[in-house]
Structure 1
Amino acid sequence: MKIGRCFPSSAFFMVVIAGAWSLSPVRGDDLADFKNPLDNSPMTFELKPGETETPALKKFKQTGTNDYRSDAEALAEGKKLYTANCIICHGADGTGKMGPTLIGKDVIYKQVLTDPGMFSLIYGGASGAMQSFSRRGMKQDQMLRIVAYVRTLEK
């Protein structure tokens, strides 16, 4: 009896590894998830005149850790912001309406599976109707609060 190859082709292996890398949690030394969802280029986040970089935002940009995920006040503000800006397209529970789901594994943009990825999407926008909330005047700290709130929808 002949035994076939037990390893996938190198091309398949590279795709699997690349896919796993892009979905892995962000480590402090790897902020690869701060990428443009349309072309995968590195994202830069410039503060607008009058906008301040809060300690939570600064830490998030350095480590990918969102301190607002455990902050009741920030979550309440994130819910208000989500209700005012996101619910019409993504639904009250984040499972999508005319916009795609933001929770679960069946997401359109795999970046939303990480906080830096979701932040990048909100900041820079995506294809279709999802325009940049930075260009709409939303502050980065507010975007970070929305990300924290969306994570509560997954429970």
Structure 2
Amino acid sequence: MSRLYTAAALSASLALSGVAVWAGQTFYHVTEGTPLDLSDAMEEGRDTEAVKHFFSTGVNLYNENPAVMAEAEEVYAGMCSGCHGHYAEGKIGPGLNDDYWSYPQNEEDAGLFATVYGGARGQMGPMWGALTLDEMLLAMAWVRHLYTGAPETAIWLTPEQRAAFKPFEPGAGG
């Protein structure tokens, strides 16, 4: 488990804002260490099955889900590729498709979510005003899909997904 949540915190509850949070758990800004305010999130996209599942389990239902990959690619292309590259190879922002993470907590989806939601250093601002919670999960799923590392290092995948995972190869199709 990451430092962002513990086994005791995996049961879901609803915050007064209507945003699901891990019971007794707070997400922290990746560079400032301050708690993230999930009530800043847009109203739209808070109550999807994927968002509810993510906040109750820490598992992104969109990871390697063929039914949403086209939409996930579209969200990533529109909001992330300008800085992180079409294949997440890195441009102005760091590469996101290999085994190196500027913020090691991004190896897990809870950490990646905190980075996307709250922003990081440099030009990576918080996305809570630009993307819905559901769109954040879609963008995260596309980043995970673009992973070029070995399947066994893709710790965000379920064991079944890991067994079927093929590292991304640019030009080999989505």
| Bin for the TM-score computed over the shorter chain | 0.7 to 0.9
Query: What displacement does 1:50 show?
Result: 4.4
1: CA distance, partners of 2:8 / 2:119: 24
The code of the aligned residue for 1:152 comes to H
1: CA distance, partners of 2:6 / 2:144: 15
Q: Which has the higher helix share?
A: 1
Aligned residue in 2 for 1:9: none
Relative distance call for 1:83 and 1:44 in structure 2 (3 A) is same
Instruction: Return the match for 1:148 from 141, 146, 152.
Output: 141
Matches within 5 A, 1:14-33: 22=3, 29=9
Relative distance call for 1:102 and 1:28 in structure 2 (3 A) is farther
2: CA distance, partners of 1:142 / 1:21: 23
Instruction: Return the match for 2:90 from 93, 96, 109.
Output: 96
- Residues matched between the structures, number: 134
The code of the aligned residue for 2:90 comes to G
Asked if structure 2 preserves the Cα contact closer than 8 Å seen for 1:79 and 1:149, the reply is: yes
Instruction: Return the match for 1:69 from 53, 56, 63.
Output: 63
Matches within 5 A, 1:1-155: 22=3, 29=9, 34-46=27-39, 47-136=41-130, 138-154=131-147, 155=167
2: CA distance, partners of 1:144 / 1:33: 18
Query: What displacement does 1:86 show?
Result: 0.8
Relative distance call for 1:109 and 1:33 in structure 2 (3 A) is farther
Structure number with greater CO (CA < 8 Å, separation at least 6) is: 1
Question: Which of structures 1 and 2 has the bigger CA Rg?
Answer: 1
Relative distance call for 1:75 and 1:28 in structure 2 (3 A) is farther
2: CA distance, partners of 1:69 / 1:81: 14
Query: What displacement does 1:91 show?
Result: 1.0
User: Structure 1 stretches of 5 or more lacking a match?
Assistant: 1-19
Corresponding residue SS for 2:68? helix
Relative distance call for 1:84 and 1:53 in structure 2 (3 A) is same
The TM-score, its normalising length taken from structure 2, stands at 0.66
Asked if structure 2 preserves the Cα contact closer than 8 Å seen for 1:111 and 1:118, the reply is: yes
User: Structure 2 stretches of 5 or more lacking a match?
Assistant: 11-21, 148-166, 168-174
Q: Percent identity at matched positions? A: 31
